[in-house]
Structure 1
């Protein structure tokens, strides 16, 4: 007969027996799982070491850059006069700056027109740029007398054709703007009887960006736009093209724009108004000090991580994931040796970290003597720079060497990567072992289940036979007794 559950037919606790057998067969799985857990913990520990090394490399890379130590900060007594940004080539120094004139673009205005949409005339507009020399400017009329004009041969003249569809004031404006001729055109309404005026502004400031406009074509177009500082001037100059003028420590400086490049080595001055101010450029030792402190913190963090991962717990009598790990021990030794070795002497004569107040403590960490570091930075910034980075093409410098070391050990063939790959390989092998043992356990348990099922059926059959025979014997005995 069929049975729905093991032991139902026989009355035996075969289900419990089967469970116990399965547990016994599965003991190797527990051992494999324990090993896998141990290696997973080790893998996580290596990841923590990798993270700490990355932080140390980031801090090292900053100090390994020679240009970082060249950073100069600016202090201005009157920031309303000018602003300043410093570059890699800026050097410390003090400057007195007197801005006497700001650069500006030339602006020309045409005679008023009753409508901006009425046709004026056809022709070709030619725009040259150059410099006005001599002559007298009438501030009221905006016109020159007795002046000469030198065309800038390095700038190509712009030629703009004005024809049907573009011969209105608005059309001329659009044609000039579309030509990208170095001039911005707009139409201004001044509210008079003939309010519409064409305004032309040079897109570049400076004396050399003064406009000269000639017109070939209809007289009306010529009368509207012709402008030659040395000749016919039908347009009115409302703003003269001029250079910025300033004096830096007694030296006159001229700039076509209000952005003065390299007026002082490695700086960009942005002029805002006329006036005097002082400028002080100083080496940014504060940023260097902060970077060195971050370097020390990153190193100490690596030490702290390593201590935690190699510790022994006396209470539980268990070691941390990397206790006794040769890879980590070798790594820490290399890092310590790198920071302990003397560097090549530079112009500042510094060779070891202790000379700038950075020294090893008894517990293996680094400590910074802020006062000693500040003194070293103020007396020989180049010497401090040489300790960490000796420049392009050289392998000297603690930061440069440590960065290279981290790159090596964490690279594709590095010790840490190799150790990590080994753990991953072991975990893959353990996974395969686990699956193989699990398959074997499942097969064995299924065999037991089949045998127990057969036993259950057999005992159930024997029990049924016994019951039937007992009933027959009882019936026979009852018949004999009745006789």
Structure 2
């Protein structure tokens, strides 16, 4: 069948414009579906915004629901540079005098110098065990004991290290000891002498039970380098003695194998830095609690503000927001507010207004800082019970709001979001099906217009031919 390259050329009619107008008319249902899908997409995005605001509220609630927040104690030494202190038990609060007379340290021993760290020394098995050196006399010049006793610590099993031709140099021995993770750190120090390379062994732990006893079963040179028994043959020089930390807390002597001293003050940890005497003030960290409460109030108000903007109605333009009249959001707000206005049980304080947190006429929360400060300073335990009851319990506003948000995210809000998502998918399917129908209808119109164009063009050609013939006949007669 004959065709026309451009619609309307054959008939001299504006068929292209007419086809466009028909296509626009046929596509109106598609426009309606697009608008509907857009509204649902906007609603889904709004639910996402609500979920984000709820997440912020839940984070703030979790913090208040953690009992550790209210047990946090800050330590302030009167003299800096001696120790640091922290506590997670409010019972540790108080003032202390602490005198650190000695820090804990590990034992360090060094070998005789070797001319070359890459020359083979000998093969064998090195055994290292740990324990305590008692009695005897230590010669500071030689770093060796006379008349001492070594008592192995059963809680620290002996470690064995094999030295063979693959690692029997000073460097190889160093690497083998470190790779064995035997509780010893090995290094090589060059002292600049004629035999400068010295193997340095340092216990990985501090305390008087971190002294090393090293025995070698193997070649004589290896034995001569490393055999070291504080109660017998000593081929290594001790440069640092294994010792406990010694301190006095309020007149009571305390010993610790490490410089991190736990429970010398019940519920507190002291980190020793240097020797010296200092006062220490341990106080309940009410500032962090106040910040957490303020953050919770701000998170709740942010949720309210978000909800307000998503449900607003502009009477002038008669325009609704994404969640105007949405029951899911309304029920969500109601559940959270009801939880925050339900009195807690089992404590001196039962409602938020007792700590200066109160609802305003616009539905937001406000904090009376003076009243909150007083509550925190006079009865922190009651404030703690208000937000976070005993471990394992579900009482306390912090725990309850945390649980409600989890329930909403996995329940009502998820159901609503999933419903909107399902509707959007259905609209997409409808749109695709309708697009096929519109395309088919427009294609039919176009084919009909093309036929019309061809027909009129043919008629015009016939007319022109007949006119020519009639003119010729008339010319002949004349």
Q: Corresponding residue for 2:83? A: 82
- CA deviation profile, 1:337-390 (whole Å, cap 9, x unmatched): 1111111132xx111111111100000000011111111111111211111121
Partner of 2:270: helix, strand, or coil? Answer: strand
TM-score by length of 1: 0.86
**Inter-CA distance 379–460: structure 2 relative to 1 (3 Å threshold):** same
Alpha-carbon distance between aligned partners in 2 of 1:149 and 1:2, rounded to the nearest angstrom: 110
Task: State which structure, 1 or 2, has the greater radius of gyration over its C-alpha atoms.
Answer: 1
Query: 1:388 matched to which residue of 2?
Result: 387
Q: How does 1:7-406 map to 2 (within 5 A)?
A: 7-87=8-88, 91-108=92-109, 129-140=130-141, 142-145=143-146, 147-157=148-158, 182-183=183-184, 200-212=201-213, 229-230=230-231, 236-346=237-347, 349-406=348-405
Aligned-residue RMSD, C-alpha:
3.4
Residue by residue over 1:162-197, the C-alpha shift from the partner in whole angstroms, topping out at 9 and shown as x without a partner, is 888988877876776676655555665656677666
Equivalent residue number for residue 459 of structure 2: 462
Q: Count how many residue pairs are aligned between Structure 1 and Structure 2.
A: 477
Unaligned runs of 5+ in 2: none
| SS of residue in 2 equivalent to 1:273 | coil
SS at match of 1:97: strand
**Residues 139 and 471 (structure 1), Cα distance of their counterparts in 2 relative to 1, 3 Å cut:** closer
Q: Please tell me whether the aligned partners of residues 71 and 90 of structure 1 are also in contact (alpha carbons under 8 angstroms).
A: no
- Pick which of 245-254 and 15-24 moved more: 15-24
8 Å Cα contact 1:356/1:373 also seen in 2: yes
In the other structure, the counterpart of 2:417 is 420
Q: Which runs of 5+ in 1 are unaligned?
A: none
Provide the rounded CA distance (Å) in 1 between the counterparts of 2:458 and 2:165.
Answer: 115
- The alignment's TM-score, normalised by the length of structure 2, stands at 0.86
CA distance in 1, matches of 2:344, 2:324: 33
Residue 59 of structure 1, CA deviation: 1.2
After superposition, the C-alpha distances for 1:206-236 in whole angstroms (9 at most, x for unaligned) are 3333345567888887776665555565655
Q: 2:472 aligns with which of 458, 472, 475?
A: 475
Q: CA offset at residue 201 of structure 1?
A: 4.2
2:450 paired residue number: 453
Which SS does the other structure have where 1:84 is aligned? strand
How far apart, CA to CA, are the structure 2 residues paired with 1:15 and 1:343? 75
In 2 relative to 1, CA 102–6 (structure 1 residues): closer, same or farther, beyond 3 Å?
closer
